[in-house]
Amino acid sequence: MTTDSRTPTSDNAPIKSLQRDVDQWIADFGVRYFNELTNMAQLSEEVGEVARIIARRYGEQSEKPSDAKADLGEELSDVLFVVLCLANQTGTDLQAAFDRRMTAKGVRDKDRHQNNPKLL
């Protein structure tokens, strides 16, 4: 993998740091990780909450008064938390995987979006 100034390579990389934070939270407050299947179900639930906000706030559905108080950032953070849990409990280095995907996307999509008339 080619490294540039945007590619974290140390243990202080932001996603690695988040994975450590979640692991510490689990140790301090969570007793243990839920099993992977439970976390996958929880992830689906959290993504559904994000979808509800997006559909009603930015889409064509009417937003109910009870939905107006929902915080999109908090719901996205819940999604991220569960993703980090799944990464930790499956031994996935999410930072390394993210870095690889960003490099691959940069190669694959180098000119793709600049030449897309739908985006102009």
pLDDT digits (tens, 9 = 90+) for 27-60: 999 999 999 999 999 999 999 999 999 999 999 9
pLDDT at 7: 53
At residue 3, does pLDDT exceed 80?
no
How does DSSP classify residue 108? H
Structural domains in the chain plus CATH codes? 14-99 (1.10.287.1080)
pLDDT at 20 over 50: yes
Contacts 24+ apart (CB under 8 A), 22-27: 22/81, 22/84, 22/85, 22/88, 23/88, 26/85, 26/88
This prediction has a pTM of: 0.84
**Whole-Å CA distances, 100 to 9, 45, 83, 96:** 11, 28, 17, 6
Q: What is the pLDDT of residue 77?
A: 98
In contact, 51 and 70? CB cutoff 8 Å: no
CA–CA gap between residue 88 and residue 43 (Å, rounded): 14
Q: d(Cα 72, Cα 39) in Å, to the nearest integer? A: 20
One-letter amino acid for residue 28 of the chain? D
**Residue 63 tokens, joined:** 């937003």
| Sole residue written with tokens 């990464």 | 87
Of residues 97 and 117, more confidence is placed in 97
